């Protein structure tokens, strides 16, 4: 399941349940900016997939009882809670794979064991190297802007969700963060939406059972002590969101000085129609080199000027506009993706939507051993 789909899943658990009926809608997603898109455009001369990177993708989602089907241009995913399976269909190769929730739990158990081994190896290496002196914490905030507009014919209000995995160098106070910002437009009520929410509540329970039962959650918490508190804060903050997201612009990137990644409505990206304006991969690599925070954040520490020496004297006071520009300069957007939900319907759904097309060949799922 894609990252933005998990985000939508979390947001959909907030409204009260009601009588159920079939529910369907269309989802249009498109990468609209960021340094990764710029690089993919430059690679478009060599790769057809890279050429298509900025094109919109339209999916149709069907929910009926304990089954959900997502139909994309090249693939279908069918989740059946009664059977306990997730089926992925490749429309190009005319093949499909089916994985059970139990197999998923086993894969998470293997991942937990590997993480424990890596943690033991890291501790062994740490004894031979000086400490990094970097503290990590997870910061999640939700705020309502009070702005309203119509989206897909529905009245919607704006809320902004920011998430940061922030590292602080305890020797000099430098900060760097890998960050996600979700600029969301929420509609208070959509007929038939309760069916989707009820399904996602059940799916979240099954996925949560597989995750916690594997030991992966406790292993991750041991490796990153701040993760548990971060998840608790996320639950509290997300509970502030009221409604169903009908449009969102998600940004992923990195920031400096403890600042969140600016939201799309508050800091639009520069026009790149005449060429990429964001840092190249080489620039990013140069800025990241040698930064202790970068190493703890998986190499993201150098974005937006991270890894430089801390200034010994404070800068002169800036105007509000200058501070806004400074905030943007201290952030790098790796990817900006816009998603919009339309064509909501409670009409009866053909059960064939939840089955593998005839003539497709079954393939075993790729399982780690």
The tens place of each residue's pLDDT in the chain, 369 residues long, gives 454 444 444 444 443 333 457 999 999 999 998 888 877 776 666 666 666 777 899 999 999 999 999 999 999 999 999 999 999 999 999 999 999 998 988 888 888 788 777 767 766 666 655 656 667 788 889 999 999 999 988 999 999 999 888 877 777 777 778 899 999 999 988 888 888 888 988 888 887 765 565 454 555 455 555 555 666 676 777 778 888 889 999 999 988 777 888 999 999 987 655 554 444 444 443 344 334 444 444 443 333 333 333 333 444 444 444 444 545 557 889 999 999 999 999 999 999 999 999 999 999 988 777
Residues in the chain, overall count:
369
What digits encode the pLDDT tens for the residues 65-77?
999 999 999 999 9
pLDDT at 97: 97
Report the C-alpha gap between 241 and 268 in whole angstroms. Answer: 23
Residue 196 lies in a domain: yes
pLDDT of residue 260: 86
- Domain interval for residue 214: 3-310+320-359
Is residue 369 a part of any domain in this protein?
A: no
Residue 63 CB partners (closer than 8 Å, separation 6+): 22, 23, 24, 195, 196, 199, 349
Per-residue pLDDT at 165: 84
In a domain, 145, yes or no: yes
In a domain, 346, yes or no: yes
Residue 364 lies in a domain: no
Number of structural domains (the chain) is 1
| Domain contains 209 | yes
Tokens of 56: 């919109």
For the whole prediction, is pTM greater than 0.75?
A: no
* Position 368 in a domain: no
pLDDT number for residue 205: 83
Is residue 365 in a domain?
Answer: no
């Amino acid at each position: 399941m894609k990252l933005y789909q998990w985000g939508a899943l979390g947001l959909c658990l907030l409204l009260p349940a009601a009588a159920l009926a079939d529910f369907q809608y269309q989802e249009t997603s498109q990468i609209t900016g960021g340094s990764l898109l710029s690089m993919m455009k430059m690679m478009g001369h060599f790769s057809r997939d890279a050429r298509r990177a900025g094109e919109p993708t339209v999916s149709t989602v069907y929910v009926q009882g304990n089954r959900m089907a997502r139909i994309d241009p090249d693939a279908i995913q069918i989740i059946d809670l009664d059977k306990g399976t997730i089926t992925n269909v490749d429309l190009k190769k005319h093949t499909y794979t089916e994985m059970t929730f139990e197999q998923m739990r086993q894969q998470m158990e293997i991942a937990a064991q590997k993480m424990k081994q890596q943690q033991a190896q890291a501790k062994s290496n740490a004894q031979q190297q000086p400490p990094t002196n970097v503290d990590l914490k997870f910061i999640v905030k939700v705020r309502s802007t009070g702005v309203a507009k119509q989206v897909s014919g529905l009245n919607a209000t704006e809320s902004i969700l920011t998430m940061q995995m922030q590292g602080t160098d305890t020797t000099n106070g430098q900060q760097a963060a890998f960050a996600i910002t979700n600029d969301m437009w929420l509609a208070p009520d959509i007929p038939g939406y309760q069916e989707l929410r009820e399904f996602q509540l059940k799916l979240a329970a099954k996925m949560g059972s597989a995750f916690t039962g594997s030991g992966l959650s406790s292993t991750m918490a041991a490796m990153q002590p701040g993760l548990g508190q971060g998840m608790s804060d996320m639950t509290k903050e997300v509970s502030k969101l009221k409604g169903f997201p009908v449009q969102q612009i998600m940004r992923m990137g990195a920031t400096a000085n403890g600042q969140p990644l600016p939201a799309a409505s508050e800091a639009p990206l520069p026009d790149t129609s005449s060429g990429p304006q964001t840092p190249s991969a080489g620039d990013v690599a140069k800025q990241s080199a040698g930064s202790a925070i970068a190493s703890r954040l998986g190499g993201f520490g150098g974005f937006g000027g991270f890894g430089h020496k801390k200034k010994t004297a404070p800068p002169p006071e800036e105007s509000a506009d200058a501070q806004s520009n400074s905030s943007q300069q201290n952030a790098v957007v790796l990817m900006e993706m816009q998603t919009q939900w339309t064509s909501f319907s409670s009409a009866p759904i053909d059960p064939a939507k939840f089955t593998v097309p005839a003539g497709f060949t079954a393939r075993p799922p790729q399982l780690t051993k």
